[in-house]
Structure formats: structure tokens, C-alpha cells
Amino acid sequence: MGRYILKRLGLSLITLVIVSFTVFAAAEVLPGDVARTVLGPYASQQQVDQLNHKLGTDQPLVKRYLTWAGDFVKGDWGTSPILNVPVRPLVLDRLKNSLILAGFALLLIVPISVLLGVLAALNYGGAADRIITITGLSFVALPEFVVGTFVIVVFAVQLGWFPTSSSVPDANPVDIFKQLLLPSIPLMFVLFGYISRMARVGTVESLRSNYTRTAVLKGLPRRQVVGRHVLRNSLLPTITVVSVQVGYLVGGLVVVETLFSYPGIGQLILNAAVSHDLPVLEPAVLMIAIIYLVANFVADVLVAVLNPRVRLAT
């Protein structure tokens, strides 16, 4: 087990290095000149060169990457030349906001999706199965901005139950629901489709397996068969899917955050990309990658805990 975790950890770190370099390189080759963007179209070329030199953007790519990566690790993320604020508190604060929104959506939708997915599998081919499967598919097919706009129009504008734009909630549960329920609905629509389908497929497979037959022919009641023998094996793939979705959630919030003017990291990244604010863009994207890797790592460990074949093989 210990070796398995170390191995996974090592692989995560290697991935992180590759991702960070890709992020850095991609951002640096974006069209446009940093200094030109900062100084505007009327600045002289000399001023632009000077600022580029000051920012270090005239150095070779690998050298700049190393400096940047070193600074990132040390926590020295610099200041945004556009917003004129230190980058680290800005990115971390926005990340925290996004995590709150994503966590809320996940906490609500994962149990529902898994439950309905398993329910569909237990009624394989029946009415409940069809309804759940088709609902899931149609939800996934709906773009986030359509669902988002729809819920804003109905629940915020017409019914007035929720604010049209969401801010970060305080610890009050009523406020949490008030601020976060609407923006998380489009997210949940997408998640529900994926997660319930995965839970359904895993359960169907497990129900058909020989070990389930063994359990039934041992004379165990159905509740025991499903609870002890089926679910234990059927939810393993679902765990992996959920962890991948965490990455999607945190990174893919752009649309929803913009729609609800929620101050999350997605919105920040979008703005930084548009205004060519590299010192903000790079650490923000990297933080998302880190969240993604952490989620995957947690999923791997969880799968290992639940699956002795993985746990004991390495």
C-alpha cells in the first residue's frame, strides 16, 4: 500500500512538472506582447522593450520557466501588471470561492446521481431505468448557459426567490443555498449525466457477474446481495469519474461564473486571458491542474482502499 501511494505520488509530481511547463509555454506564446498590452498602443517601442526587459520577458523560454517555477514554489507569485495587486492572495481567494461552489454542487449531486444510477441498474430495462437514463442524457446535452439563463429567468427574475447574481455566501446555511443553488444547477445537470451513467453501468456489470450469482445462490436476501456484494465492486469506476469531474468543475466554471457574476477562478482566468495578464493566468491555471491531480490522487488511493487487487498488487 505504501509503495503504491508513493508511486502514485511520484507520477502526480511528474505530471505536474509537465503540466506546469505546458501552461507556461502556452501562455508565453500567446499572441501579443505583454509590455505592449500594459503600455497601450501609443507607447514607443523603446518603452516597450524596456518594460519587457524589466519583466524578464526577453529571456529564453526555459530560463524564464525555471525562474517562474522556482518563484511559484516559493510562493512569490508577483503582482499583476494589469490589476496592480499581488497575484497570490487574488488567485487563492478566487480559487477558494470556486471550490465552495464546486463543493456545494458535488455534495448535492454525487449522492443523488449514484443513488439514481444504482436504482436504474437494479431496475435494468424497466421504466425507472429508462427515465433515469434518458433524463441523464438530456441533461448532459443541455449547454450550461442555456440551463443557467433559464433558471435565472424563472427563479431569480420572475419568481424572485434567488438573487440574479451570486456572491460568496457566509456560513449561514440559508445564505449558502440562496447564493449557490442557482449557479450549481447547470453544473449538476452535467455531472448527473456522467456520474449516474457510470454508477449504472458499474452496477449492471456487477449484478451480472459470477460472484453475484454465487451470493444469490448462497441464499442471501437481495438487500445483502446488493449491499455487500454488488456495490462494493460496482462503484469503483464511479469514484474515478467523480474525481475527473472535480477537475472539470473547478476549471470549467467559466461560463457559470460569468453568467452569475460569481467571483471564482474561472472568471479570473477568462479575464486574465483576455487582458493578457500572464502573471495571473499562469498560477491560476496551474492551481486548477493541481486541484485536478489532487482529486485524481485521492481517487486512486480510495480505489486502492476499496479494491484489494490494487492494494496488494504493488
Grid cell, residue 256, equals 457559470
Q: Which residues of 210-220 are buried (b: 16+ CB within 10 A; e: fewer)?
A: eebeebeeeee
CB of 213 to another protein, least distance (A): 7
Residue 211 binds to another protein (criterion: CB under 8 A): yes
Determine, following the binding rule CB under 8 A, whether residue 39 of this chain makes contact with another protein.
Answer: no
Measured from the CB atom, the residue of 113 and 206 that comes closer to another protein is 206
Residue 223 interacting with another protein (CB under 8 A) = no
37 versus 224: smaller Cβ distance to another protein: 224
| Residue 220 makes contact with another protein by CB under 8 A | yes
Residue type, 289: A
291, three cell numbers: 486541484
Question: Out of 109, 180, 215, 286, which residue is the one contacting another protein (CB under 8 A)?
Answer: 215
Candidate residues 224, 258, 271, 275; the one interacting with another protein per rule CB under 8 A? 224
Q: Say how far residue 253 (Cα) sits from the centre of its chain.
A: 8
161 binds another protein (CB under 8 A): no
- Tell which residue, 304, 233, 286, 256, has the closest CA to residue 6: 304
Looking at 159, 171, 217, 274, which residue binds another protein (CB under 8 A)? Answer: 217
Nearest to 148 by CA among 270, 268, 253: 253
Q: For residues 232 and 33, give the distance between their C-alpha atoms in angstroms, rounded to a whole number.
A: 54
Can residue 40 be called a binding residue for another protein (CB under 8 A)?
A: no
Select from 214, 227, 261, 314 the one that contacts another protein (CB under 8 A). Answer: 214
Distance CA 100, CA 94 (A): 10
Closest distance of CB 123 from another protein, Å: 12
202 vs 206: CA distance, rounded Å:
6
Q: Does 306 bind another protein (CB under 8 A)?
A: yes
Q: Determine the length of the chain.
A: 314
Q: Is 173 exposed, middle or buried (0-12, 13-18, 19+ CB in 10 A)?
A: exposed
Residues 62-91 that bind another protein (CB under 8 A): none
240 is a contact residue toward another protein (CB under 8 A): no
> Residues 2, 31, 32, 308: which binds another protein (CB under 8 A)?
308
Residue pair 232/306 in contact (Cβ under 8 Å)? The answer is: yes
Query: Measured from the CB atom, is 126 or 143 closer to another protein?
Result: 126
Is residue 2 a contact residue for another protein (CB under 8 A)?
A: no
Measure CA 102 to chain center.
7
Interface ranges with another protein (CB under 8 A): 209-211, 213-221, 224, 228-229, 232-233, 306-309, 312
